[in-house]
């Protein structure tokens, strides 16, 4: 029986990667990077994170192909959320210094890595609205105050 996907677990996996690797690759403090939203559709998982700088705040979106749970010969297994996060991170963001090129201070506009698709939310407020309308979006209470 397949386990249910957890946007909160996916959040924890992505947050761990962001806090561990993004600051050193982008010359920012770990406190300046926060995962703001995670969710999934039938084929993809998504995260939006924010990066704070002296110029303001930038929102960055990423789309990840869902990777199934994997069990090793030892019996240990990697969660689908964890595999999706690590694979997507490696494919899209690892070693990619994006922070210097972000549009800081552009309100809540989301800059999508790999380009914006028609179905992507354009602004962070859209995610909050989707959540209020019942969408399964995990919005942690992380702020940059």
Model confidence pLDDT, tens digit, residues 87-100: 887 777 777 889 99
**Cα–Cα distance list, 86 to 15, 17, 22, 137 (Å):** 11, 8, 13, 20
Q: What percent of the chain has pLDDT over 90?
A: 32
Distance in angstroms (rounded) separating the CA atoms of residues 119 and 141: 25
pLDDT of residue 143: 59
- Per-residue pLDDT tens digits for 25-69: 899 999 999 999 999 888 889 999 999 998 999 999 999 988 877
User: CB pairs under 8 A, 24+ apart, for 113-117?
Assistant: 113/60, 113/61, 113/62, 114/62, 114/63, 117/63
Q: At what angle do helices 7-26 and 80-92 cross, to 10 degrees?
A: 30
pLDDT of residue 142: 56
Q: What percent of the chain has pLDDT over 70?
A: 90
pLDDT of residue 69: 75
pLDDT of residue 77: 65
Q: Are strands 77-78 and 110-112 parallel, antiparallel or unpaired?
A: unpaired
Return the number of other C-beta atoms located less than 10 Å from residue 71's C-beta.
9
pLDDT of residue 57: 93
pLDDT of residue 72: 66
Average pLDDT of every residue of the chain: 85
């Amino acid at each position: 029986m397949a386990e249910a996907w957890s946007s909160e677990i996916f959040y924890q996996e992505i947050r761990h990667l962001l806090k561990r690797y993004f600051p050193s690759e982008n010359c920012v403090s770990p406190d300046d990077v926060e995962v703001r939203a995670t969710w999934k559709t039938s084929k993809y998982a998504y995260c939006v994170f924010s990066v704070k700088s002296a110029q303001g705040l930038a929102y960055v979106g990423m789309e990840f192909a869902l990777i199934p749970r994997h069990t090793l010969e030892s019996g240990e297994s990697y969660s689908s959320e964890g595999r999706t996060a690590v694979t997507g991170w490696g494919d899209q963001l690892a070693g990619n210094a994006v922070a210097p090129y972000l549009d800081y201070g552009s309100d809540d506009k989301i800059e999508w890595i790999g380009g914006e698709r028609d179905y992507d939310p354009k602004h962070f407020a859209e995610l909050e609205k989707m959540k209020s309308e019942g969408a399964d979006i995990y919005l942690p209470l992380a702020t940059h105050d």
